[in-house]
Each structure stands twice: as C-alpha cells, then as structure tokens.
C-alpha cells in the first residue's frame, strides 16, 4: 500500500491509471456503548481496508493508494452522547463532493470508500455523491461493504451464520464488539461489556428512533456485548471480506459493481 500523504505530486502523476485505485476509510466519531471507543466504526473499516488492500495487490496486481480518512460524518442517533460528532448531511455532502471531485479532476478515477456505518443520512448521501461524480467525470467510485452484514441482520440469518442464536443485535452488540476485538483488542473494555444487560432491538425499531437515548436502556448499544469474542470477529472479516473481495475482483475486471454494494433499498 502507498500513502498519498507520503508521496509527491510527481509520484502520484506517474502511477498507472488503469490499475491504480485510491482507498478511503470513512466513518463517524460516534459512541458505541459504555464498552467500546468512539472510533469503533472506522477502526473496523481500517481492518477491512487492510485486508482488501492485500487482496487487490496480491490477487489483482493493482496499486492501492491510501488517502486521508474522513472521521466526521452524519451520526444522528448518537448526537446526545459526550464525544460523539454528527455532521449535517448537507455539509457532509458538500465536503465529500469537494474531496472526491479533487481526485477525479486529477485523473484518479478509480476509488473505494470503506465504512461500517449504517446510518441512513450517511449512506444515502455518500452514494448520491459518488453516483454524481461518476457520471460527471466517468469515474468508477464505489462505497462500502455494509450491504452484506446488513442483509444478514435484516434477513435474520446473522445469529445462525455466526452461531450466537439471538436476534436483535444491531449496534455495539456482539458483532461490533467481536469485530473490534480482532482489530483492536486492547480497546474493548471487557469489564463493562460483561456487565451489560442484553438489549435486543430490531433494526426497524432503531431506524424509527431519534436517539440511542430512547432505545433500550439508553446506554447506546443493542444486542449482547457480553457474548462477544474473537471467534465471531474472525467470522465477520472472513465472511464479509470474501463477499467484498468477490465484488472487487469483478471491479478490477472492469465490471460496474456499484449496485452490488448499494444498501439504499434496504434502509429507505
């Protein structure tokens, strides 16, 4: 992996355009219960980005350029918690458009945004911006792998696939706690996680809420943090890395894969 911030403009200009893409981690600074850090979403996304970079460089032979991340995005349901930041979607739209358009204007027309943040204003806005830039500049920008875990949660298949057999795990519960346990185990506060009561909440209920303060016990999580472990976390990265990798393989072969990653129809 190359890092944009460590390269000169001459270095960037010499990259082979046909087999180079930039990769950006996007995510919120948002509460994830009493037991996980506010950077959980982008830390999990960083782990997936590293794995997908190895795949793209090893299996596809492409050059991946890591560009600076975006750590402030819409995170509406967590605004009331200390440390959480939510950017109004209109401002996020304008800022993201300026950033992505800068790469397009300089001929870096292939790019991947990776996030694990299932927030409707964020997802809709991000995908709308990328669609517009793709049309305007003939770019091939795609966003996320969230569709795959989201389909598992909404279909009710996640408990069986991961082996925990309990429904209603959506935010900062067993899955997110487990995925961070693999990525950054030193940041999971297990004493708190194991003391938290089960708070199963269906996504449809959460999607209609105005704040995590109004959900469950108001501590900012759903599901079963106490049951998390590294085994579930490895299942997360293996399963979704495999599915995402298949999409990226098609991307490298020139296919239009934008709709294969879109989750707009799942949260409209």
Q: What is the DSSP string of 88-119?
A: -HHHHHHHHHHHHHHHHHTT--EEEEE-----
CATH number at residue 185: 3.40.50.10310
- 2: Cα separation from own chain's centroid: 21
Long-range contacts of 18-21 (CB under 8 A, 24+ apart): 19/60, 19/61, 19/62, 19/63, 19/252, 20/62, 20/63, 20/64, 20/65, 20/108, 20/110, 21/56, 21/62, 21/63, 21/64, 21/65, 21/108, 21/110, 21/111, 21/112
Angle at alpha carbon of residue 151, lines to 29 and 21, rounded to 5°: 60
Please name every residue paired with 142 in a beta bridge, in sequence order, or none if there are none: 112
Would you say residue 92 lies in a domain?
A: yes
C-alpha to C-alpha distance for 175 and 159, rounded to whole angstroms: 10
| Residue 102: domain span | 2-261
Whether residue 145 lies inside any domain: the answer is yes
C-beta separation of 54 from 141 below 8 A: no
Q: Please report whether residue 268 resides in a domain.
A: no
Query: What pLDDT sits at residue 53?
Result: 96
Number of domains in the chain: 1
pTM, two decimal places: 0.94
Q: Is residue 267 part of a domain?
A: no
- pLDDT for res 268: 59
Q: Does residue 103 lie within any of the structural domains?
A: yes
Query: Does the residue 106 lie in any domain?
Result: yes
In a domain, 62, yes or no: yes
pLDDT one digit per residue (tens) for the chain, 268 residues: 899 999 999 999 999 999 999 999 999 999 999 999 999 999 999 999 999 999 999 999 999 999 999 999 999 999 999 999 999 999 999 999 999 999 999 999 999 999 999 887 888 899 999 999 999 999 999 998 888 998 898 888 999 999 988 899 999 999 999 999 999 999 999 999 999 999 999 888 888 899 999 999 999 999 999 999 999 999 999 999 999 999 999 999 999 999 999 887 776 5
- Give bridge partners of residue 70 from the DSSP assignment: 26
Distance in angstroms (rounded) separating the CA atoms of residues 123 and 264: 7
Give the helix/strand (H/E) hosting 39.
Answer: none
Which residue shows structure tokens 């996680």? 193
- Could you give the C-alpha distances from 98 to 61, 102, 105, 108, in angstroms and in order? 29, 6, 10, 14
Domain assignment of residue 266, yes or no: no
């Amino acid at each position: 992996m190359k890092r944009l911030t460590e390269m000169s403009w001459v270095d960037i200009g010499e990259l082979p355009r046909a087999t180079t893409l930039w990769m950006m981690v996007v995510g919120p600074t948002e509460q994830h219960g009493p037991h996980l850090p506010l950077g959980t979403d982008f830390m999990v996304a960083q782990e997936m980005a590293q794995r997908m970079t190895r795949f793209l460089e090893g299996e596809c032979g492409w050059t991946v350029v890591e560009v600076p991340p975006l750590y402030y995005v819409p995170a509406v349901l967590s605004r009331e918690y200390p440390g959480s930041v939510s950017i109004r979607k209109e401002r996020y739209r304008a800022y993201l458009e300026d950033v992505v358009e800068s790469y397009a204007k300089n001929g870096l027309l292939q790019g991947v945004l990776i996030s694990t943040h299932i927030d409707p204003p964020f997802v809709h806005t991000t995908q709308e911006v990328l669609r517009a830039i793709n049309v305007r500049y003939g770019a091939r920008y795609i966003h996320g792998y969230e569709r795959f875990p989201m389909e598992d949660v909404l279909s009710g298949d996640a408990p069986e696939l991961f082996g925990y057999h309990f429904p209603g795990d959506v935010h900062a519960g067993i899955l997110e706690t487990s995925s961070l346990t693999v990525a950054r185990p030193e940041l999971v506060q297990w004493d708190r996680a194991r003391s938290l009561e089960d708070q199963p909440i269906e996504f449809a209920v959460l999607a209609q809420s105005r704040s995590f303060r109004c959900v469950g016990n108001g501590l900012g999580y759903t599901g079963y943090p106490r049951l998390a472990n590294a085994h579930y976390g490895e299942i997360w990265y293996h399963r979704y890395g495999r599915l995402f990798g298949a999409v990226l393989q098609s991307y490298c072969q020139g296919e239009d894969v934008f709709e294969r990653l879109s989750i707009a129809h799942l949260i409209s």
